Amino acid sequence: MHSSKLAPLKIANAQLSLRHVFVRDLVLDSYIGVYDHEKQAPQKVRINVDLTVVENTQPLHDHIDNVVCYEQIVNAIKTIVNAGHVHLVETMAEQIADMTLQDNRIRTARVRVEKLEAIPGTTSVGIEIERCCDDNVTVS
């Protein structure tokens, strides 16, 4: 038998009480790559994150604790990037997605990690993944 999943929603949706929280074009120095020259010096990565968030049914009261805070997301991404050398952009993207999905209000995470200096003549190379809070659940 095979697994099947419904395509997650990727935008804000009033009928389903979903918000879209995002981080755009976060550029950081990172030790990333499998080649020896990539292990000698940091290289720039650009990270984009799109989160589908279940809205709180309680009033916001204009208080930051009642929303998914993008500053906390950015700071957590910086912690992941600064934790040490990573061989693959895929690994970094998975770590970021896993971190965001620890918040039970976040239903889906789309993460793009781009290496900006990896291949001369290119603007960027990288990976984009999408994960759901229930990615480990399979449907027969």
Please indicate whether residue 67 or residue 16 has the higher confidence score (pLDDT).
67
Give the chain's domain count. Answer: 1
Please check whether residue 8 lies inside any domain of the structure. Answer: no
- Domain span holding position 48: 18-132
Confidence at residue 79, expressed as pLDDT on a 0 to 100 scale: 98
pLDDT confidence tier of residue 39, bands split at 50, 70 and 90: very high
- Amino acid (one-letter) located at 84: G
Please check whether residue 13 lies inside any domain of the structure. Answer: no
Cα separation, 60 vs 114, whole angstroms:
35
Pick the closest to residue 93 from 109, 75, 70 (CA basis).
Answer: 109
